Structure 1
Amino acid sequence: MKRKLKKFTEFSQTILPHEANYLQSVVQFTDGEKLQIINLLISNALSKLEFKDFDTKINKRKYSYIKDWVEKKLASIDVDATIDWLISLKKKILTDAISSTEELEFLQYIIHYKTVEYNFQSLYDLAKEYKSYLLVRMRYKDHEVIADFLTHYESTYQNAIDIHEKLYAATTEITNQYTLNNNDTKHLESWLFEVFNNQALDGKNRYQAFVLLAFMYTNYNENNKLKALFDKIDVYFSKGEMYSRRLLSNYYASRVLLHSKQNEFDEAEYYGYLSIRQNNNDTLMYVNNLAAILLRNNKAKQAFNLLDKYKDLYRDVHNYHQKIGFCSYLIRVYSELDKMDLAEATAKTFLKKYKNEVLQHRWHHFFTSYINILISREKYDDILKLSSKFKLIEREKEHQKKNNYVPNISWSISLSRYMEGKINSDKLLEEIKQPLELIEPTLNQKQLMFKVIDKLSNNLPEAFLKLKSHI
């Protein structure tokens, strides 16, 4: 009997927590059984602990009704669905292919438009195109409707365009700060917060301001401000504002990074699984983030199952930053599961095929995983050959300037030099202390360093235990 509800159960498990909060705010059923179904669907979506089965005694037509109702409610506020509709209409207007039914739907949308929404700028641009379309065809009554809309919202549109341009300039400043570390962007904070909180503005500008604030707080390591910002947008999402599954996935992935930095790894894992519920262009990045968290939570088997599920996406993707990340985590997972031959073979094969891409995009991430395997297998000469061939010591010196630097590769090379008789124990201790002279490690960095030291101590306890006390 339960098998009859298999499809509905699977559907209910796709509902995201913020979708559930929104649905809860618009439920108006008087039928007791429909209320029972929707309330349990919402409760399950919000629960982190257990999933309760639906009542099989209720007529399955009511489950079909609830499924349709949920899909329609979410579609009605989905900003991505709206932009798809607007783009489709624009193409049909430009190619004289719009039907009378589609025109009527758009005119009704304009007549009943009362609140500036997420895609307002795109809507206004489309209305301008449609105005000309109507005038050429001497449809004066419909033309008047569109002209009134354009006049009424003209100042709002101009303000949106001005803010959009300022946001672009702010994006340049904030991303330059991240990549070049060459400027201060604090002067933008209060204005960005004002844009984000202004509910009279279009949602696209507001969401862009949110993204830039999150980027800025990450640059400055202001985690408390970042969490407060996330808690604020939580409320907007739960009201159905700025909603689409793509945006929610992006938000959940950002939450993963925040909770990870705060050592809240169970929370990070929870949001990591939420971030991959919806497939989009960033899914592989979200999978990589979740794999990292699962490894931090000592869940190598779950990390393996995750990566195995997305291996086709990994194989086909052309984003080398994420491709290299995925392979690096795969190597680490094989290592954790004691599949050393497979780990080393995977690293060798990937490096041979994508040498240039590895060096260009994520050499540190990849070689950290690869060298860790070689350390475990005591293949010190292989490490020194890699170091020489790919100039890893020179690359490490440049990499030390990064805020989150952990000298895993540097220490591994020094250990290998000692084990191969290239340096003595005093020189080894001097070399492994050297990368710490230029940095003041955060708590998170220290924890990662201790993890690296514990691994390297298996090969040479004395020097790395001295290093631990030095940190």
Structure 2
Amino acid sequence: MRDRLRKFTAFTERLLPHETAYLMGHHQLEDADRIAILERVERNSREVSSFLPYDESIDKRKYHHLRHWMEKKLAAIDVDERHAWLLRLERLIVTDAIDQEDERQLLRAIRHYEHPGFYFMKFYEVLGHYRHFLQIRMRYRDHATVHDFLMTYADHYARSKEGYDRLHAVTQDVVEQYARRGGESWQWAESLEQVFLDGDMDGLNRYLALVRLTFVSFNHREYDRILVHFDRIDRAFRDGRNYSPRLLTNYYGNRMLLHAYRREYERAIYYGWLSVRSLNYDHLFYVNNLASLLLRLDRETEALELLQGAKQAAKTTVNSYNRIGYTAFYLEALLKTGRLEQAESYGESYLRAYRKEILRYRWHLFFTVYLLALLRRGQPTRALKVIRQFKLLDRDAAAANKPGYLPTIPTLAELARWREGLLTDKEFHASFRKRLHSLPEASEERERFAAFCRDLEPLLQ
């Protein structure tokens, strides 16, 4: 049956629960077969580990019709589709190439505009170009329509543009603290929240504010504060407001992180699998986050399968941060599934090819896993050479006071020295306990370091 309905099945496997919830709530289908198919589509979209086959006794043309209807229905509310349309019109207008049908649709969009649109700023800018186009051609009536719109919403545009530029300045503090565990960003929380809750602000600014508020809340572990806003946009997506597949996938990815921080792991994994269902620019980022969680929960087989499926994305990405993260998690998955020789070889090849990028971006994550691979392969001498070659202990000491720091590198260095006979049993075990107890009790750092120590057990015998 899957072969017979292969295209339809492939299409529905990419659909997301909020998309199908919207379709279920906004259809006027009367045919019982089409309704039954849509209900099955909605059920399958909510599942991440099971699939109920479609009824092949139903006329295949009904599947074809329903797929076309679903695509058209979702495209009609997709704000990114609308943005692409605006960009196309902008190019056509400034090159004097717009045709009558495009003009008709643009003028209709003005008449039916409901403020605030998601991409209000781009719509306003396109109309600014269009006003020039009309004026020089003495099309007075259409020019008056466009001019009136621009005058009516001039203050709204200025406010949105000012907010957009201000968000760029805020982002520097937010990203600095999130990526480097330094700096401060809490002072922006209230203003970001005000932008997100401002119903008169355009959707793009509200979305950008929420993303940055999410970072700030994660930085300061204010998880309940951001959960309230996530529930708000959850309802909006179900109603088809401010929707695109990209925005919805980003929501799933952030929701995964939120539930992981709250230690609601099953819910986190559920949203994680939803976040990797679609391929987009940030796909590898979502894969890395889900793989990291699966590995932390000792679900290494699932993590390895997930990472192997993202190999092409890792090869083609220009984002070194994501690529190095992928490599580290792939090495960890290989180690945890007993592929020790493969892990060592892969890590060595990657270090040889990308040493500058590793040292610049995610050296701590990469070297923690790579050194562990060398030790698991019985190569403490090689591990100590790598530590000296890349001055890892000096790098680690410089990072030791940053929030979220884990003493994995010095622990692995002492483990290598111990296995080489350079430390006595008493010295090594005393140092090992000291590092564990140096982390605050009941903290996320202590929990993560304890999990890391469990991975060392085969080397401590």
TM-score range, shorter chain: over 0.9
Q: Name whichever of 324-333 and 202-211 sits farther off.
A: 324-333
> Contact (CA 8 Å) 2:181, 2:404: kept in 1 or not?
no
- Please name the residue that 2:394 is paired with: 394
Post-superposition, which runs of at least 4 consecutive aligned residues in structure 1 deviate over 6 A?
Answer: none
Relative to structure 1, the CA distance from residue 198 to residue 418 in structure 2 (aligned partners, 3 Å threshold; closer, same or farther) is: same
> Contact (CA 8 Å) 1:263, 1:444: kept in 2 or not?
no
1:59-103 CA-to-partner distances (Å, cap 9, x unmatched) read 222222211111111111111111111111111111111112211
- Please name the residue that 2:221 is paired with: 221
- Please name the residue that 2:337 is paired with: 337
| TM-score, length of structure 1 as denominator length | 0.91
Relative to structure 1, the CA distance from residue 382 to residue 183 in structure 2 (aligned partners, 3 Å threshold; closer, same or farther) is: closer
> Contact (CA 8 Å) 1:265, 1:296: kept in 2 or not?
no
Q: Name whichever of 85-94 and 405-414 sits farther off.
A: 405-414
Letter in 2 for 1:222: E
Letter in 2 for 1:395: R
TM-superposed CA distance for 1:391, in Å, is: 0.6
1:34-66 CA-to-partner distances (Å, cap 9, x unmatched) read 222222222322345643222223222222221
SS, match of residue 110 in structure 1: helix
- Please name the residue that 1:6 is paired with: 6
Alignment of 1:452-467 (within 5 A): 452-460=452-460
Q: Name whichever of 174-183 and 112-121 sits farther off.
A: 174-183
Q: Name whichever of 144-153 and 417-426 sits farther off.
A: 417-426
TM-superposed CA distance for 1:437, in Å, is: 7.2
Paired with 1:39 and 1:201, the residues of 2 have a C-alpha distance of 36
- Please name the residue that 1:73 is paired with: 73
TM-superposed CA distance for 1:261, in Å, is: 2.2
Paired with 2:170 and 2:403, the residues of 1 have a C-alpha distance of 22
Paired with 2:190 and 2:60, the residues of 1 have a C-alpha distance of 52
TM-superposed CA distance for 1:399, in Å, is: 2.5
- Please name the residue that 1:58 is paired with: 58
- Please name the residue that 1:146 is paired with: 146
Paired with 1:240 and 1:181, the residues of 2 have a C-alpha distance of 36
Paired with 1:255 and 1:333, the residues of 2 have a C-alpha distance of 24
Paired with 1:124 and 1:143, the residues of 2 have a C-alpha distance of 14
Q: Percent identity?
A: 34
> Contact (CA 8 Å) 2:269, 2:293: kept in 1 or not?
yes
Letter in 2 for 1:281: Y
Relative to structure 1, the CA distance from residue 226 to residue 112 in structure 2 (aligned partners, 3 Å threshold; closer, same or farther) is: closer
> Contact (CA 8 Å) 1:294, 1:302: kept in 2 or not?
yes
Paired with 2:137 and 2:418, the residues of 1 have a C-alpha distance of 84
Paired with 1:231 and 1:104, the residues of 2 have a C-alpha distance of 38
Relative to structure 1, the CA distance from residue 392 to residue 267 in structure 2 (aligned partners, 3 Å threshold; closer, same or farther) is: same
Alignment of 1:320-359 (within 5 A): 320-359=320-359
Letter in 2 for 1:339: R
SS, match of residue 51 in structure 2: coil
TM-superposed CA distance for 1:129, in Å, is: 0.8
Alignment of 1:385-424 (within 5 A): 385-424=385-424
Relative to structure 1, the CA distance from residue 173 to residue 298 in structure 2 (aligned partners, 3 Å threshold; closer, same or farther) is: closer
TM-superposed CA distance for 1:199, in Å, is: 2.5
Alignment of 1:28-427 (within 5 A): 28-47=28-47, 50-178=50-178, 184-427=184-427
Residue ranges of structure 2 left out of the alignment (5+ in a row): none
> Contact (CA 8 Å) 1:410, 1:432: kept in 2 or not?
no
- Please name the residue that 1:26 is paired with: 26
SS, match of residue 354 in structure 1: helix
Residue ranges of structure 1 left out of the alignment (5+ in a row): 462-471
1:153-209 CA-to-partner distances (Å, cap 9, x unmatched) read 222222222322332332233234445666554443333222212232210011011
Q: Name whichever of 339-348 and 292-301 sits farther off.
A: 292-301
> Contact (CA 8 Å) 2:304, 2:330: kept in 1 or not?
yes
> Contact (CA 8 Å) 2:436, 2:446: kept in 1 or not?
no
Q: Name whichever of 254-263 and 342-351 sits farther off.
A: 254-263
Paired with 1:80 and 1:274, the residues of 2 have a C-alpha distance of 20
Paired with 1:108 and 1:314, the residues of 2 have a C-alpha distance of 43
Q: Name whichever of 117-126 and 376-385 sits farther off.
A: 376-385
